[in-house]
A and B are shown apart, each in its own frame.
Chain A
Amino acid sequence: MVLLVPACVAALFALLPLGYLAVRALERGPAFAWEVVADERTLDLLGRSLGLTAVVVAACVILGVSLAWLTVRTALPGARVWSVAATLPLAVPSYVAAFAWLSAEPDLAGFGGAALALTLVSFPYVLLPVAAALRGIDPAQEEAARSLGHGPLRTFLRVTLPQLRPAAGGGALLVALYVLSDFGAVSLMRYDTFTRAIHTSYRASFDRTPAAALSVVLVVMTVALVAAEARTRGRAGHARTGGGTARPAAPVPLGRWKPLALLWCGAVVAVAVAFPLGTLGYWLTVGSSATWDLGGLTETAWATLGVAAAGAALTTALALPVGVIAARHRGRGARLLEQAAYAGHALPGITVALSLVFFAVRYAYPLYQRLPLLVCAYAVLFLPVAVAATRAAVLQAPPVLEDVARSLGRRPWQVLREVTVPLAAPGVTAGAALTFVVCMKELPATLLLRPTGMDTLATRLWTETGAGSFAAAAPYAAALILLAAVPSYLLGRHRT
């Protein structure tokens, strides 16, 4: 199996933080680690984290599915514009969104504010795969349902929605893991979650053992979530060949619902895109500390683009074998492989960064505090984003074509190169673009692992806000959002 070796390399890579956590958590014996974990506060944090995750995921699914359906399948005026606009929130870092809301409405702090900020930056994780799936679905089944007398709503619920479940489930999983690992929004909104407790633990005691023990709980939660998502997938297969051609579905007329649909799209875009951008504009115009250091800004922007591109490239390369195996094989081994790839994703960036410090200092010292290590950190952190995209893309490529290629005497790697990869390419590139965006926004691992003296837009943003000069931070935030908007825009226009 040509894919197995690279896939295992990717999985081992993603398991690095786990090895580190085991070493650190057990440093003072299992009894101490258990004492940390068995504290009643752990249960409380668990409840708070899961509660926030559930609310954000539910909201993201509602926003993501409704917007995807409206923009892809209905006669919504300006559908393409809306679909691009609805992808742009991806470009907004959670800490910027949280800050924008807090500065406008301090009372938002707490559960509500955290849920709001996280929902508004992460619903495109659901929107994108669902929109792609909607375009890939054969409209014939829906037409059949309609011809049997089902109304549009009933058809959507009974026929379309079940087919969207894998895409929405995969997106929801990414959202859930994002919420579990987020530090920026929850810390600004002062809502205590596991990740925030892990940060507090580092901060207050400089002690890595309790933080590691708590992180292990996060990993367990990740595995449970990934397993739960795998269950919801069921046996759904999406590929089709023969018996008709995939063609665009006829747009559903909205009729008297049109104003309401437009209002819905407009409201989402206003709060998720226009509002944070407006806030930045406001800081820029009123703040006395605003300075346009164009040279510094350009240099930082280039560095950011460079590391994010490298991170996206490595992540995509590592995700490819894992994604193909996850899509094509149902065995326990394939499942474990996929779950391993998700291991690092729910962990706070600081934990992943410290684990790479630990390994690099011991086993790869020449690479320490150099770009390759930072790029590796991005891969560990964001592998699932690329795996999910790859897996979905391969699932939509008919396995029959691979069988045909094999029957024509092609070797496995030739099948991969000549059939699977070309068919999955658009989805894989979309995954790469998504990874690119999340790499650009990453902060804690970048702070610890970047080469000394190197800055990204996110670290500059951190520096400026750390000194309390929000206006000076605004150009960096604006640049970050604008640059991340380019791949987001392409994703929004993505047509498979």
Chain B
Amino acid sequence: MRRPLAGRITALLAAGLLLPALAACGSGDDTDTDASGSGDGGDAALVIYSGRNEKLVKPILDKLEKAVGADVEVRYGDSAELAAQILEEGDRTKAGLFFSQDAGALGALSKEGMLAKLPQATLDKVDQAYRSGEGDWVGLSGRVRVIAYNPDEVAADEVPDSVHDVVEPEWKDKVGFAPTNASFQAFVTGMRVLEGDDATRKWLEDLKANGAKTYANNLATLDAVEAGEVSLGLVNHYYWYERVAEKGEDEVDARLHFLPGKDPGALINVAGAGVLADNGEQSATARKAVDYLLSEEAQTYFADRTKEYPLAAGVTSTVEGLPPLESLESPDIDLGKLESLQETLAMLQDVGLV
């Protein structure tokens, strides 16, 4: 009874082991290959670390490869984890370009001096509000915080115009949000910058005391609004538009409310990109890549595919029903100042929300 099982498992392991192990041993020995995997060894090959989801951005990055005229390899991962990885790699990083889902991860690399200054012409394509004060990263697409609501639970004209209202007794146990989500934390950071730490802490405490429900991410929050589990959800705008694009507007119950009056709850954050410093060979290609991502073709892609706001001057969103970016009454804030996430986290921990 012993042999057959042992034999079968050994055979299974051996069969699976053979190919990759041989390949691995082979490639591990020649120490001078610079790019991994496919064996395309051009010096100017651009490696992009993409914190943006492959499903969302692969088509445009495929086009980018043609536009910059060099081989492009994309490493997909989580924005925060890729930023940590780049910091761990230091000046030996393989990345030429970091394409981040939020400004915070770019700010972290900028703070450690890992990003190179971008040409002024590139920077000037984007409104000052949506790029680094240091000139070392630019926003590529905009994402605005909104309140999603379930019309079965709350009438459109009763939806609060300010995040300050959701801590009122009438919304007890009826609000959903995602405290571990980077966008929510950026919004809290924005509130701290705009209204000070004491007011923000009070708001968070009130939110918690008011029985607001926490979810893993924006999608789960939107699901909870859909299901009527909560009446209001603090989310980013594009989740709703993507869902409508997938299911059709009639199949989606939730609706969105864009907050007026420069409320901190209407913060506009960005997804953006930065060129890695100290990566000489790749840098020129990486700069070309940033310019391509700000081109009309790429910007229109973001508008159509991810339902975000295009940020390059002269390109407007094509999404039906989406209020124009200029019409939004979002707070005036320097996105560079959203880097003080650490204090936000400490505050969220103190209050007991994360």
Contacts and interface: CB of A to CB of B under 8 A. Distances in A.
A483 to B, nearest CB: 10
A354 B89 CA distance: 9
A433 interface: yes
B88 A190 contact: no
A354 B84 contact: yes
A452 B74 contact: yes
Contacts of A452: 35-37, 47, 73-75, 94
Nearest to A207: B342
B121 interface: no
Interface residues of B, number: 76
Contacts of B13: 309, 312-313, 432-433, 436
A6 interface: no
A250 interface: no
A84 to B, nearest CB: 13
A187 B73 CA distance: 30
B9 A490 contact: yes
Interface string A202-238: 1111111000000000000000000000000000000
B55 A463 contact: yes
Nearest to B7: A429
A312 B16 CA distance: 10
A206 B80 contact: yes
Given A190-B216, A204-B185, A306 B17 contact: yes
Interface string B313-354: 000000000000000000000000000011011001100001
A133 interface: no
A103 to B, nearest CB: 9
* Interface residue SS majority, chain B: helix
A493 B5 contact: yes
A467 B54 CA distance: 8
A259 interface: no
B9 A429 contact: yes
Of the candidates B21, B35, B88, the one having the most CB atoms from chain A within 10 angstroms of its own CB is B88
B68 interface: no
A201 B108 contact: no
A372 B219 CA distance: 36
A464 B27 CA distance: 30
Interface string A406-444: 000000000000000000011001101100100000001
A159 B74 CA distance: 59
Residue among B24, B92, B224, B239 with most chain A CB within 10 A: B24
Contacts, number: 189
19 contacts: A204-B345, A206-B80, A206-B87, A207-B342, A308-B16, A309-B17, A310-B17, A354-B85, A361-B88, A372-B28, A375-B24, A429-B9, A432-B13, A433-B9, A436-B12, A448-B81, A448-B85, A453-B75, A496-B2
Interface stretch (A10-18, A56-64, A170-178, A362-370): A362-370
A89 interface: no
Given A106-B227, A452-B75, A463-B53, A372 B36 contact: no
B20 interface: yes
A487 B12 contact: yes
A469 B26 CA distance: 38
A366 B31 contact: yes
Contact of A453 (B8, B74, B78, B80): B74
Given A371-B28, A430-B9, A448-B77, 4 more contacts: A204-B348, A206-B105, A464-B55, A494-B5
Interface of B: 1-2, 5-6, 8-10, 12-17, 19-21, 23-25, 27-28, 31-33, 35-38, 47, 53-56, 73-78, 80-81, 83-85, 87-90, 92, 94, 104-105, 108, 180, 182, 185, 214-216, 219, 223-224, 227, 229, 239, 242-243, 246-247, 341-342, 344-345, 348-349, 354
A239 B133 CA distance: 71
A398 interface: no
A106 B28 contact: no
Interface string A179-203: 0000000011010100001001111
Nearest to B24: A371
A375 B13 CA distance: 14
A373 B354 CA distance: 33
Nearest to B247: A288
B204 to A, nearest CB: 14
A486 interface: yes
B184 to A, nearest CB: 10
A99 to B, nearest CB: 10
A204 B224 CA distance: 24
Contacts of B47: 452
A32 interface: no
Nearest to A431: B9
Contacts of B344: 204
Contact of B78 (A307, A447, A490): A447
Given A188-B216, A310-B21, A371-B24, A466 B53 contact: yes
